[in-house]
Amino acid sequence: MSLHISSAFNEDLTHINAKVNEMGGLCERMLEASIKAIKKSDVKIADQIIILDEKINTLEIEVNEAVIKAIALRQPVADDLRVLISAIKISGAFERIGDLCKNIAKRTRLVLDDFPKKTRDKIANLGEKVLEQLTKSINSYTKQDLQLAKIVWEKDYEIDEMYTELFDVLLKYLKKKKRIAAGSHLVIIAKNFERIGDHTTHVSRMIHFAITGESLNLERPKFNLPSSLGENNET
């Protein structure tokens, strides 16, 4: 990130980055809580996640307004403009992660007592892998760490692989137990974790773009994802 000659613009960037980092921290809290709610069958934790999502939505609006104001008043170009646009994109990804965590929380409340701990633990394991990626992504933004952003990008396939294996396990369980209603919620919860992983990867791409001005188009392993049954991710 370049050092702009305007101290006022640097203050703008500091303010915007602080809000984006706050959004990332809230996403971490929500994702951690989502995993805990699934593991411990805790409805109260799920309720807390829904409340946190409102704060993320507010912060995204504040980031957008701050960026628009900075562009209007400072008229940044080149590196500075790229950093501002990336901040909007990253805050948008964090807002969507918050929405997905809220959706997970809502569905978790409906299925906590319907499936054994072993099944819920498998879903939680996927969530923990996604959380690991999210934390790295946030750290790469905070530290402007290009290498860490690349690692997040390259490791996304591991989440896809875990999701595919989990999807097969859930389908077999559904066919055996014939608990389609509750089971479909679990499948969508797993899919939402996978989608959070996708948004986390998008954050790493935008960090790379903000630092280098280039798209992150490196070769990486790919994994074919299954189609989710009955997918409906309304928040």
Query: Distance between alpha carbon 79 and the CA centroid of its chain, in Å?
Result: 26
Closest C-alpha among 83, 12, 91, 99 to residue 59: 91
Between CA 230 and CA 235 the distance in angstroms is 15
74-78, 89-93, 227-231: least confidently modelled range: 227-231
- Tens of pLDDT, residue by residue over 92-141, are 999 999 999 999 988 888 876 666 778 888 999 999 999 999 999 999 99
Question: 7-212 maps to which CATH number?
Answer: 1.20.58.220
- Tens of pLDDT, residue by residue over 70-81, are 999 988 888 899
* Predicted TM-score (pTM) of this structure: 0.89
Domain residues of the chain, as ranges? Answer: 7-212
Between CA 168 and CA 115 the distance in angstroms is 16
Residue 167 has pLDDT above 60, yes or no: yes
Cβ(140)–Cβ(149) below 8 Å: yes
Neighbours of 137 (CB within 10 A): 32
